[in-house]
């Protein structure tokens, strides 16, 4: 393969979009400090953003929104399963 083709393929590969978590359900595992388990316990979120007066208890299910780089999380609020 020619050098230009290798360089072009490399540049195209750099543009591949990374996966974004978007909306995700988590479980509160600690109230103070607030810690939320996501991805079946694989990740513990212990920093991020929440509404100022929001209170959570251990065991609460919460909706989180991940930033575009999956490095920051915003707690949107509590949720419950209505399907059973």
Digit-coded pLDDT (tens) for 50-72: 888 889 999 999 999 998 888 88
Partners of 38 in the β-ladder: 43
| pTM greater than the 0.85 cutoff | no
Parent domain of 41? 17-79
Kindly report, residue by residue over 3-41, the tens digit of the pLDDT: 888 888 888 877 776 777 889 999 999 999 999 999 999
Q: Which residues contact 60 (CB under 8 A, 6 or more apart)?
A: 27, 28, 78
Write the CATH number for 31: 2.40.50
Partners of 23 in the β-ladder: 65
Partners of 21 in the β-ladder: none
Q: How many domains is the chain partitioned into structurally?
A: 1
61 in a structural domain: yes
68 in a structural domain: yes
CB 8 within 8 A of CB 57: no
């Amino acid at each position: 393969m020619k050098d230009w083709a290798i360089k072009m393929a490399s540049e195209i590969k750099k543009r591949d979009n990374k996966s974004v978590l978007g909306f995700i359900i988590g479980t509160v595992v600690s109230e103070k400090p607030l810690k939320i388990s996501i991805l079946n316990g694989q990740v513990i979120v212990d920093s991020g953003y929440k509404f100022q007066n929001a209170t959570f208890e251990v065991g609460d299910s919460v909706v989180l929104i991940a930033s575009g780089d999956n490095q920051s999380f915003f707690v949107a609020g509590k949720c419950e399963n209505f399907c059973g």
